[in-house]
Amino acid sequence: MANKTVSKTAGTNNRSFIDRMGGQKFIVILIVIALFILFCAMSPQFRKYTTVVSILDYSYYIALMAIGVTFPLLTAGVDLSIGTGLICYSLIGGYLIVHHDWPTGAGILVTILIGVVFGVINGCLVALMDLPAFLATLCTCMITRGLGSIVVGGYGIPWPTATQPGGWFRNIFKIQMDGMNIPIGFLWIVLLVIIMSFVLNHTKVGRYTLAIGSNKEATRLSGVNVKFYHVFAYVICGFFTGLAAIAYSAIFPTVQPGSGAGFELDAIGGAIIGGVSMTGGVGSITGTFAGVFVICLLKTGLPFIGLTANWQQIITGLVLIASVLIDILNRKKEGK
């Protein structure tokens, strides 16, 4: 447990080039650029502005989930409920808007609020009642999946389209200018990455989250209200899942009950590629952000170069192994 913090401070005088450039983050950004160039070279369809917009469109909800889930991961926990949770919150918010004529703003607030509520529930189960995070959030994953379907009664929920009244929220992520789609959602995501990086590195909430992941007992003994900050990590995750639900509803025409399982793996995968350690205590928001784009590029790029479904999955798996291996090898080197 203790050597995790050591790796952060050790070898400050004797750092490799990669470390000086930001460690794994640097490698991941290189991978993103390399993948992008590779796909551009191999597919004329990929080299289009619309493809870039599509990749960004489909990255928002994963990026938001990934920023959120980074916090539980840093406490050496995990939140598996974010995928089905996203769909559940979006279904409930959308149901109020579509079937109960709530104003879109109120629906969005409810969506985010339910995300926060489930964050609190997850946090209490894990931090206060000492359930293993994997188990607790797997249960809330099941609960959210069932709950969403029950509330909407099996109906898919089409959030208002951009041209319908109440469809303004779709313009949060994409505006039209001279017939061009401008993916302004990317700006908001970058902004959130900057804010959450600050929160993680320069506020109590962030520092204690990292400390809990490194050594919970030592953190507790130094007088930190460990339980509160542990719960809070899950609340942040729930809040961002709520935001992700809005992003998902804004990009896709219909939200289908029963879907969402598997989304969490894209987000967690992105965070891990970006250098977040599954044993907690190590990681960054910017790394997670870069990692998400490895996943998104693979998801969009592989079909474009003509690989069929089965090959796409094999290659995605191999790239994940490679990125995690690089991290492990790096850390072993530092340890010596």
Partner 1 sequence: MKKKVLAVLLGGCMVAGLLAGCGGGSSSTASTDSSSEGSEGGGGGYHFEVVVKSFQSTYWQAAITGVKAAADELGVTVNTTGPNNESDIADQVNMLNNAINQNPDGIALAANSQDAVLESLQSALDAGIPVVCFDTGVPDAPEGSVYATMATDNEAAGAVAAENMYEVIGDYIKNATEPVRIGEVNQDATSANISGRGMGFINKMKELIEADGKTVAVIGNQYYVDQVENNGDEGSADVIIEVAVPAQTTVELSATEASNIMNKEDTIAIFGSNQVTAEGVLTANQNLSVLAATPDEGIVGVGFDAGATIKAAVADGTLVGAVTQAPVDQGKLAIEALYDICEGNEVSDVATDAYWYDAENMEEDTIAPNLYD
CB-wise, 6 or 128, nearer to partner 1? 128
User: Considering only CA atoms, which of 116, 124, 69, 80 is closest in space to residue 280?
Assistant: 69
177 SS3 class: strand
CA distance 252 to 213: 36
Instruction: Using CB under 8 A, pick the residue from 24, 90, 111, 149 that binds partner 1.
Output: 149
Question: Could you give the C-alpha distances from 117 to 110, 267, 328, in angstroms and in order?
Answer: 10, 20, 35
Instruction: Using CB under 8 A, pick the residue from 14, 101, 154, 165 that binds partner 1.
Output: 154
Instruction: Using CB under 8 A, pick the residue from 299, 324, 326, 331 that binds partner 1.
Output: 299
What does the chain come to in residues?
336
User: Considering only CA atoms, which of 59, 38, 66, 16 is closest in space to residue 273?
Assistant: 66
The reply to whether 225 sits near partner 1 by the rule CB under 8 A is: no
x/- site string to partner 1, residues 268 to 287, per CB under 8 A?
A: --------------------
Instruction: Using CB under 8 A, pick the residue from 300, 319, 320, 334 that binds partner 1.
Output: 300
CB-wise, 2 or 309, nearer to partner 1? 309
Quickly count: other Cβ atoms within 10 Å of residue 225's Cβ: 13
HSE toward the beta carbon, residue 86, CA cutoff 13 A: 34
Q: 95-114: which residues touch partner 1 (CB under 8 A)?
A: 114
x/- site string to partner 1, residues 174 to 213, per CB under 8 A?
A: -----x-x--------------------------------
Question: How far out from the chain centre does Cα 81 lie?
Answer: 12
Instruction: Using CB under 8 A, pick the residue from 27, 28, 39, 57 that binds partner 1.
Output: 57
Instruction: Using CB under 8 A, pick the residue from 24, 28, 35, 58 that binds partner 1.
Output: 58
CB-wise, 48 or 204, nearer to partner 1? 48
User: Considering only CA atoms, which of 44, 21, 53, 86 is closest in space to residue 296?
Assistant: 53
Instruction: Using CB under 8 A, pick the residue from 11, 156, 166, 167 that binds partner 1.
Output: 156
CB burial of 89-127 (b: ≥16 within 10 Å; e: otherwise) equals bbbbbbbbbbeeebebeebbbbbbbbbbebbebbbbbbb
CA distance 319 to 336: 26
Residues 6+ apart with CB under 8 A from 302: 311, 312, 315, 316
The reply to whether 53 sits near partner 1 by the rule CB under 8 A is: yes
Interacting span for partner 1 (CB under 8 A) from 17-25, 69-77, 152-160, 187-195: 152-160
The reply to whether 166 sits near partner 1 by the rule CB under 8 A is: no
The reply to whether 36 sits near partner 1 by the rule CB under 8 A is: no
CB-wise, 155 or 188, nearer to partner 1? 155
Q: Which two tokens stand for residue 260?
A: 């969402």
Instruction: Using CB under 8 A, pick the residue from 48, 202, 204, 333 that binds partner 1.
Output: 48
Binding site for partner 1 (CB under 8 A): 43, 45, 48, 50-51, 53-54, 57-58, 92, 114, 117, 120-121, 124, 128-129, 147, 149-156, 158, 161, 179, 181, 251-254, 256, 259, 262, 299-300, 303-304, 308-310, 312-313
